[in-house]
Chains A and B, each alone.
Chain A
Amino acid sequence: MTGISLLAGPDPLSGMEAATSHRTRLGALPVAGPRLIEALERSDLRGRGGAAFPVGRKWRAVAGRRGGAPVVLVNGAEGEPLSRKDRVLMEARPHLVLDGAALAAAAVGAGEVLLYVGSDHGAAAGALRRALADRPEAERRRTRVVAAPARYVAGEETAAVRFVNDGVALPTSAPPRPFERGVAGRPTLVQNVESLAHVAMIGRFGDGWFRDLGRGASSGTALLTLCGAVHRPGVHEVAQGTALGEAIDTAGGGLTDASSAVLLGGYFGSWVTAAEAWSLPLDAATLRDRGHTLGCGVVAVLPEHRCGVVETARILSYLADQSARQCGPCVFGLGAIAAAVGRIASGGAEAADLERIRRWSGELSGRGACHHPDGAAGMLLSALGAFPEEFRHHHELGRCSATALREAA
């Protein structure tokens, strides 16, 4: 298939690719040096854990720090409930992830590599362990697997560092950020597994090759988790810059039902009306400029008979429950928002609820040690924009048109 890089080769669903197949198909791993960081900067590769931070800039920051040999923390704790792409990648292409980690360690001068993998991602951890057994001894000796707690915030980078240091997977106040002072006080490069797999390809084939994979001004490919009203849900790789509607039609096999909206980027993402969503290019920078986010690559298609208000209430209730409960605005503000949206969704709203959730979610941004409250507030604000009539119906009449459709069906 053209435009595919990480998932080319054997069927990703048939299990891990063996070391021999991996090497035969892609060739030996090149030597990393300062030129790799330059290539990453030119490639415009951005982090695929959700924040879309430029990878080359992050590596340069870590490589330029003093304070002991850096540590590479490979982030394979996929906490977003709708996302599967990191697990599929680790299970199917563990050598690509380890290649990226090896290049990172060489480029920033790290003496230690930690594979931080969700404790509920058993198959992924198993594939990485088996792949590691086939790697050179020097690489095996500096690498260990750390089981991350199965919580939403455990994948947040300061929480990952704190878990390795203290056994507590809770975010810490930043600064210092992990690249300044992370694992054992050392400069720490925390990088998502998909980002590292792309690095393994860029290291081999160059930044020009990577840029050419993208459509238009976009660069490279992205792993998406498609779910909801599509014929072929699951993890698909698409060229960045592809229109969302085209990705749903070609990779996702088209829609199973008429759709009213798409949740882009997962629980921390944004709701976009179907009318707007179809022509949106799948590209982190472009989406951000338009007020949306690709987050960790989740595209959840809401069928017309499901209610956006009810789904939003469910997600907020989950996010409030997953709060690390360290910061007041997250504990009380997010908790109150989730409760109010829950009342609106279930038809028991108080008169002030709709005004309150607007004000509260506007006040939440930037008021936590991590971005948990920001993500939840952004998702709610996007829902208020995408489902204005549904929210009004729920608030005033206690029900909405989607619920009526479902009951009729």
Chain B
Amino acid sequence: MDGPTLHVDRILCDGHGLCAELLPELVRLDDWGYPIVLPGPVPAHLDGHARRAVAACPLLALRLRQGGR
């Protein structure tokens, strides 16, 4: 089974950028500081980092979702 996927609630997200700090393998920031997430499931070896990034988001805008979209 594929791992969970990362989702950003774009209305909540205010571009704090912690996700890109904690998970640069999957998240980079655009020219205005808003996250661009690599599509596809989170690889198993990044699972812990992904969970930490989700927990660190000050606006609770980053989520891990099981089963595609």
Interface positions of A (Cβ within 8 A of B): 172-173, 175, 326-330, 332-333, 336, 360, 363, 367-369
Chain A residues, Cβ within 8 Å of B14: 328
Interchain CB contact (< 8 A) of A173 among B10, B15, B34, B36: B10
- Report if A328-B15 is in contact (Cβ < 8 Å); known contacts: A363-B36, A367-B36: yes
Interface residues on chain B, size class: 10 to 19
A333-B30, A336-B31, A360-B31 known; A327 vs B36 contact (CB < 8 Å): no
Q: A368-B10, A369-B10 are in contact. Are A328 and B36 (CB under 8 A)?
A: no
Whether A173 and B12, one on each chain, are in contact in the complex, defined by CB atoms closer than 8 angstroms, is: yes
* Number of A-B residue pairs having CB atoms within 8 Å of each other in the complex: 45
B contact residues around A368 at 8 Å (CB): 10
- Tell me which of B9, B11, B12, B32 contacts A332 (CB under 8 A): B32
The chain B residues found within 8 Å of chain A, CB to CB, are: 8-15, 30-34, 36, 69
Residue of B nearest to A327 (CB): B10
State whether B11 touches A172 (Cβ < 8 A): yes
How many whole Å from A193's CB to the nearest CB in chain B? 28
A329, B31: Cβ atoms closer than 8 Å: no
CB of B11 within 8 A of CB of A326, answer: yes
Tell me, rounded to whole Å, the shortest Cβ–Cβ distance linking B4 to chain A: 15
Smallest CB separation, B26 vs chain A (Å) = 15
Q: Are the C-beta atoms of B31 and A328 separated by less than 8 Å?
A: no
Is A367 within 8 A of B10, CB to CB? Answer: yes
What would 24 A/B residue contacts be, using CB atoms closer than 8 Å? A172-B11, A173-B9, A173-B10, A173-B11, A326-B11, A327-B10, A327-B11, A328-B10, A328-B14, A328-B32, A328-B33, A328-B34, A329-B10, A329-B32, A329-B34, A332-B30, A332-B34, A333-B32, A360-B30, A363-B30, A367-B34, A367-B36, A369-B9, A369-B11
* CB pair B13 A327 closer than 8 Å: yes
In the assembled complex, the CB of A208 is this many whole angstroms from the nearest CB of chain B, namely: 35
| CB-based nearest B residue for A331 | B32
Residue of A nearest to B8 (CB): A367
> Is A326 a contact partner of B31 (Cβ separation < 8 A)?
no
Chain B residues with CB below 8 A from A326, complex form: 10-11
Q: What A residues does B10 contact at CB under 8 A?
A: 173, 326-330, 367-369
A360–B10 CA distance with the chains assembled, in angstroms? 17
Cα distance A403–B14 when bound, in Å? Answer: 41
In angstroms, Cα B13 to Cα A332, docked, is 13
Select which of A172, A328, A360 is within 8 A of B13 by beta carbon: A328
Closest-by-CB residue of B relative to A172 is B11
Q: Which of B8, B9, B10, B33 has the most CB of A within 10 A?
A: B10
CA A62 – CA B11 in complex, angstroms?
26
- How many Å lie between the Cα of A332 and that of B34 in the bound state? 9
Give Cα distance in the complex from A327 to B69, angstroms.
Answer: 19
A328: nearest chain-B partner, CB-CB? B34
Q: In the complex, what distance in Å separates the CA atom of A368 from the CA atom of B9?
A: 8
Shortest C-beta distance, B58 to chain A (Å), equals 14
- Complex Cα distance, B69 from A89, in Å, reads 35
Task: Please give, as numbers and ranges, the residues of chain A lying within 8 Å of B9 by CB-CB distance.
Answer: 173, 369
User: Within the complex, what minimum Cβ distance (angstroms) separates B50 from chain A?
Assistant: 19
Give the CA-CA distance A365 to B17 in the complex, in Å.
Answer: 19
Note all chain B residues with C-beta closer than 8 A to A360.
30-31
Chain B residues in 8 Å Cβ range of A367: 8, 10, 34, 36
